[in-house]
Amino acid sequence: MVLSAIATLLSKTIGLDPDTIGSNRIARAAENRRVACKLPDLKSYWARLQTSALELDELIELLVVPETWFFRDGKPFDYLKTYVTSEWLQSPNRNPLQLLSVPSSTGEEPYSLAIALLEAGLHPKQFAIDAIDISHRSLAKAKRGVYTKNSFRGDVWTGRERYFQQTAEGYELCQPVRGLVNFQQGNVMTSLTLIQKKYDIIFCRNLLIYLKSEVCSQVLAAIDRLLIPGGLLFVGASDTGKIVADQYVSVRQPFTFAYRKSKPSLPKQAPLNITQLRQVPSQLITPQTIAKQSLGGKIYSAPDTQQIKESDPSASSKDLSPEATSSLDLQTVKKLADDGRSAEAIALCNSYLVHHPTSAAAYTLLGELYQAHQQNVQAERCFQRAIYLEPTSYEALVHLALLKENQGDKVGAKIIQQRIQRLQHSLRTEA
């Protein structure tokens, strides 16, 4: 009963979903603090907890685990540098790049952002980084900037000697880099709502999964308010299912887990281009997003999802003329899709496969078309067939990994992601 009350208090205070960390962990933390407070039992500790904000902070410190390291996961920082050099630096009349890291933990992530931007060629005056965390202890360590080997894991980043000096206590980050990050203490439930500035890039990784559903929605709404249209939101792999589908578009880079905020000015009735289709997660594309098109003097509307069913390829071509099927190629299919005539594109692609049953490219394209209409079962079969025919089909592998991830199949997605990594390594080795 007491532990349940403590869990409820934590939920109200920091938005924590107790199920994500387990009752045993909360029980251990509460017992540790009871002993530290020299109280006889949990009931008396609960009474202390209700009247002491300082003690509540101490309990929270035990539950917040600063699991982080420099350039964690690697790919998000690679994409950040690519974005800066290929997009941001090319924009005329740009203001300094504004970044936010929340939660910032012990500082490895926001400092990694600073180093990545420096290595991308930016001058310190060209960007500003804010970092927020609830833990006073983590922030104290971040500001001090001294780290052990545990903060440098793997071989993703090997430039430690350029930015750190080894001391008796560990590796001390140089002052110029430390000065690039503005650390602030704050509860994510309230601190984000108080910020008035806008950000080009927000890193919010591995936080959303620990929050109650309603708090997660509240935090995402605050982030959405802070992020400029077209801005980038980076989340953790386990956070992707929390992203609001009609507001963000995946950047479609493997293992990056970054999303671009949609721009309101984009025309809502624009035809869906096949190149856009390859960049948009399946859950963002519905039949309603495909504009009505003029067809032979009539108005063609994208069919309802239920009207698009998987069928025998030969049956799909029954309304096509012999001339159309004989001269059919994949460019014709893509052109129809670009024009918003997706039902015809699906039928023609099936017809193409009747004559070219071993075309991995055709199966990949057909999978994209099914995916656009949320026909995920059909889409998955197409991508699997493409991979069977062409095991090194990078595009089909990426589509299938994202499809499984969006469906909540984290294990299946991870297996395919590992396969993509091996493929990338093989291609780099051959190069």
Burial class (CB in 10 A: 0-12, 13-18, 19+), 59: buried
Strands (DSSP E) along 225-338, which ranges? 227-235, 248-250, 258-261, 293-295, 298-300
pLDDT for 306 equals 37
Q: What is the band of 321 on the pLDDT scale with cuts at 50, 70, 90? A: very low
pLDDT for 341 equals 83
pLDDT for 354 equals 82
231: nearest Cα among 252, 196, 261, 266: 261
pLDDT for 290 equals 30
pLDDT for 157 equals 64
Q: What is the pLDDT of residues 258-316, one digit of tens each?
A: 999 987 643 443 444 444 444 544 444 333 333 333 223 332 233 333 333 333 333 33
140 vs 330, residue with greater confidence: 140
Q: What is the pLDDT of residues 201-210, one digit of tens each?
A: 999 999 999 9
Strand order in the sheet with 164-166: 146-147, 171-173, 164-166
**Residue found under tokens 């578009």:** 249
Mean predicted confidence (pLDDT) in 364-391: 86
pTM above 0.85, yes or no: no
38: number of Cβ within 10 Å: 6
How is residue 215 written in tokens? 């708090």
166: number of Cβ within 10 Å: 10
Q: What is the band of 244 on the pLDDT scale with cuts at 50, 70, 90? A: confident
* Cα gap 232→251, rounded to integer Å: 9
* Cα gap 258→232, rounded to integer Å: 7
Burial class (CB in 10 A: 0-12, 13-18, 19+), 309: exposed
